[in-house]
Structures are given as structure tokens and as C-alpha cells.
Amino acid sequence: MSARGLSFGIDIGGSGVKGAIVDLTTGELTHERIKITTPQPSTPAAVASACAELCTRANWEGPVGLTLPAVVLDGYARTAANIDPSWIGTDARALFSEALGGRTVSVLNDADAAGLAEDRYGAARELDGLTLLLTFGTGIGSAVLYNGTLVPNSELGHLEVHGVEAEHMAAASVKDREDLTYAQWAERVSTVLVTMENLFWPKVFVVGGGISRDYGKWIPLLSNRTPVIPAVLKNTAGIVGAAMAVAEGITP
């Protein structure tokens, strides 16, 4: 982190690579996020080049935090969701550091980054204990935090619920594909949340993803016991969490 309390985060997704300078005293971006369309094919080399371009366009020369839609262990990508399968087994930390001129980088899962940001600056910022962040989209991403400490790569969307993976039962894409009403979908989400809360007993669920914008249409319909609140950082959470990670040396 610079003396001015600034850091840089990049959020890599299947459709866009987004980055911005973050003021870590507030969690706010210092400028509009810069977006580059994710290269196709989204190979490691092509994505790393896009990240270098983002830093150049932002005139940023310091350390960089990056997210991947992947399980990340010791800097290596172990899965690949919505990015080229050649990422699997890639030393992402070394790749990005080299592409960015040898500077310090951190790489973590995108949902984990969003969870860090929501816990520090967003919906769960004044809460202690266990927080579970769930992002509802094509699948269900997750982040587990205890008193602000991340337990990385939780992948709770793959938890089996009544013989079916949670995300196959209740992802936002399932609602669209099966043309479910909010009431029908909320019943499925409730089933998933009850399974998770029986295992983890969180203080709160924070829910994100595009469908969280319509939280008033479905959160009141949920029947699980743990409070459920919408994420507040929206499309900046990954960038902010990535910037936090590199500034604080968080390296899953």
C-alpha cells in the first residue's frame, strides 16, 4: 500500500477485466473503474497482457491484487470457471508478476475478494463472528470470513443439498432457465441456506450477484433462521477485495 493509503485491484471475469485504484481508508474507488473485454480465448498470457494494459491506463506502478474465477492455492489456479481451461495448474502469481514488470502481486478467488470487501467496508462491516457471502449468478460463489479473517476457497456452491449441488438447485441461472417465480426460487434458496446454517451457524448471510439488486422481491420470502442482507459494494467488491489482499499480504 502506498503512503497515501491507495492500492490497485483487478477483477477478472469471463466477460470483462476490470481495475481501479482503491482508497483503503474508505473502500472507495478513486476513479471510474477501467474495463477491458476479456480476451478470447482467455488464455493466461492474453489475460495477463490485459491486466498490464489496465495498470498502464490507470498510471499505476505499485503492487497489484487480482481475482480469478478459480480456486487459488499458493498462487496456482486449480480450477477455471468462465475462463480458458489452460488456467488450471498455472502459477498465476508468477505469471502476473512477470507481466507487470516484476512487481508484487496477490491472486485470490473472486468471491473471496468480494467477501473481504463486504466484511471490511460493506454489508457486514460492523458484525463479528462468522459471515457467509454468497453470490448468485451462473453458479453460487462463496466466501467464509470469521472476525474479518478469510477462510479461502470455500466453494459452498458445490455443497450437496438433498442429493443435488447447491448451485444446480438455486443459482440465479436456474431461476431463469426454469422460469421460476421469486417465491419458487426463494423456497429453493431457503433450502440451501438451511443446509449451510446447520453446518456453520453464521451470524449473517450476505448475498450478492446481479439478482441481489432485486433483493426486496425475494429476501423477505426466505424461511431460514439466519439474517440475510444484500451486498452493498455491487460491481466494485472484487476490485476492492483484491486491492485489500495485496496491501495486507493476503495470499491464499
Q: pLDDT by residue (tens digit) across 188-222?
A: 999 999 999 999 999 999 999 989 999 999 999 99
pLDDT in tens, 69-112: 999 999 999 999 889 999 999 999 999 999 999 999 999 999 99
Identify the weakest region by mean pLDDT among 165-169, 174-178, 207-211: 207-211
Work out the average pLDDT over 32-46: 97
Confidence of residue 1 (pLDDT cuts 50, 70, 90): very low
Query: Concatenated DSSP letters for 10-42?
Result: EEE-SSEEEEEEEETTTTEESSPPEEEEPPSS-
- CATH 3.30.420.40 residue ranges in the chain? 6-110+236-248, 123-232
Taking the complete model, does pTM exceed 0.85, yes or no? yes
User: What's the CATH code, domain 123-232?
Assistant: 3.30.420.40
224 φψ region: left (φ > 0), alpha (ψ -120 to 50), beta (else)? beta
Which percentage of the chain shows pLDDT scores above 70?
Answer: 99
Q: In CATH, what number does 6-110+236-248 get?
A: 3.30.420.40
